[in-house]
Amino acid sequence: MDILNALVVFLNFVFIPAAAYGAQLALGALGVTLIYGILRFSNFAHGDTMAFGTAIVILLTWGLQALGVSIQPLPTALLALVPAIALTAVLVLVTDRLVYRFYRKQKAAPIIFVMASVGVMFVMNGLTRLLIGVNEQRMDDGARFIIDVRTFREMTGLTEGLALRSTQALTVGLAFVVMIALFWFLNRTRSGKAMRAYSDNEDLALLSGIDPERVVRLTWIIAAGLMVIAGSLYGLDKSYRPFNYFQILLPIFAAAIVGGLGNPLGAIAGGFLVAFSEVAVTYPWVRVVGYLAPWYDPGQGNLMQLLGTEYKFAVSFVILIVVLLFRPTGLFRGKSV
């Protein structure tokens, strides 16, 4: 029984939250890695564009809720995703036309692109503030739990409860669908193959008659979709505060680099790796250990927590440093230039 209880605590506080968070990071890192693969720069505006896209989702959700539209038991925000993706795609395409295309034509150094993306980040941050302010906003509705603690306890008779929030299941499910669709697109369609060819070798792709501007446009549209979905899932699962989306930039970069920049499969693996390490390192293990080793007394006040939750970003940073030290191209051998 104790082992089962320990397992339930582990699932409830470590596995499920980390899986949901990992799916969100993976979607974010996929966007970063795609932009890196095609446009060859690290997009610092990624987090703030996610915040902007999510702000649109929230506004549309509020509108739909006011109209009385609902798709119970799913959250209304899902309906708002499609128009929000379209709007965000238009925005990033305009940004590309006004900002990045100039440097692309000039063949500017990657660091100039990074700097331009910092400027874009500033503007996106301002736009988000203008649109929705800096405070916490909520948009979740629909069923709260798939399994709640009480039902689980009654069902199983265990002392520990397990809660599976509908947003967590939705996050993992939707992320899975999006990833499958993305890989199908990249591997099976003509446009996807063109994108991969362009990413592998630009000159050769140009010689084969691939239109570079079309590839870039496609990349931005897909990235916008990934950004809005990742941002909305993050906002549904945790809560929406624009500054959180700036802070999530570091774990996203860490995930993309761990997997190897420019490698989509690596980005997914990296996202889950970063999320699981972050949650595992900052979780107080005392209850799990209490069930597994009841004879061990950790002492009063010892939570058996390796690192306080306020340092969760330090975990992604340490992972980043270790990868940079020992394998700068990432676990899955991304681009090295």
Partner 1 sequence: MATNRQAAASSPWRAPVVFAILAVLFVLEGTVRNSMFSGSWNTSLAILNMGLISAITALGVNMQWGYAGLFNVGVVGFLAMGALAPVLIALPPVEGAWEAGAPRLILSLLVGLGVLAAAKMVYTRWRKGWLVALVLLGGFFLFRHLFDPAVTAIEANNPARHGNIGGLGLPVLLSWLVGGLFAAAAAWAIGKVALGLRSDYLAIATLGIGEIIVAVMRNEDWLARGVKNITSIPRPVAYEVNLQRNPDFVAAAQDWGFSAAETSGIWVKLSYMSLFLVVLLAVILLAELALKSPWGRMMRAIRDNETAAEAMGKDVTGRHLQVFILGSAVIGIAGAMMVTLDGLLAPTSYNPLRYTFLIWVMVIVGGSGNNWGAVLGAILIWFLWIKAEVWGPAMIAALTSPMADGPLKAHLLDSSPHMRFIAMGMVLLLVLRFAPRGLVPER
Q: Which residues bind partner 1 (CB under 8 A)?
A: 41-42, 44, 99, 102, 106-112, 114-116, 118-127, 129-130, 133-134, 246-247, 249-250, 253-254, 257, 306, 308, 310-311, 313-314, 316-317, 320-321, 324-326, 328, 336-337
Taking the least distance from each CB to partner 1, the nearer of 207 and 337 is 337
Task: Report phi then psi at 240, rounded to 5.
Answer: -95, 115
AA identity, residue 332: F
H runs (alpha helix) in 189-294: 190-200, 202-207, 212-237, 242-247, 249-259, 264-282, 286-292
Q: What separation in angstroms does the CA of 306 have from each of 250, 283, 285, 315? A: 20, 8, 9, 11
- When the beta carbons of 121 and 170 are compared against partner 1, the nearer one is 121
Query: Could you tell me which residues come within 8 angstroms of residue 64 by beta carbon, excluding any fewer than 6 positions away?
Result: 70, 76, 79, 80
For 140, the enclosing helix (H) or strand (E) is none
Q: Is the Cβ of residue 116 or residue 172 nearer to partner 1 in the bound state?
A: 116
By beta-carbon proximity to partner 1, the closer residue of 174 and 315 is: 315
Query: At closest approach, how far in Å is the CB of 37 from partner 1?
Result: 13
Q: Decide whether 102 or 184 has the Cβ nearer to partner 1.
A: 102
Nearest to 214 by CA among 230, 233, 197, 226: 197
Q: Where are the beta strands (DSSP E) in the chain?
A: 145-147, 164-165
Smallest gap, in angstroms, from Cβ of residue 324 to partner 1? 6
Q: How far is the CB of 327 from partner 1 (least distance, A)?
A: 11
> Least distance (Å) from partner 1 to the CB of residue 132?
9
Is residue 270 within 8 Å of residue 173, measured between CB atoms? no
Q: Which is nearer to partner 1, 233 or 255 (CB)?
A: 255
Q: Which CB atom, from 168 or from 263, has the smaller least distance to partner 1?
A: 263
Q: Are 111 and 39 in contact (CB under 8 A)?
A: no
CB of 247 to partner 1, least distance (A): 7
Nearest distance in Å: CB 109, partner 1: 5
The two tokens of residue 50 are 């996610």
Residue 195: both structure tokens together: 């994108």
Nearest approach, Cβ of residue 190 and partner 1 (Å): 30
In the structure, how many helices (H) and strands (E) does the chain have?
Answer: 16, 2
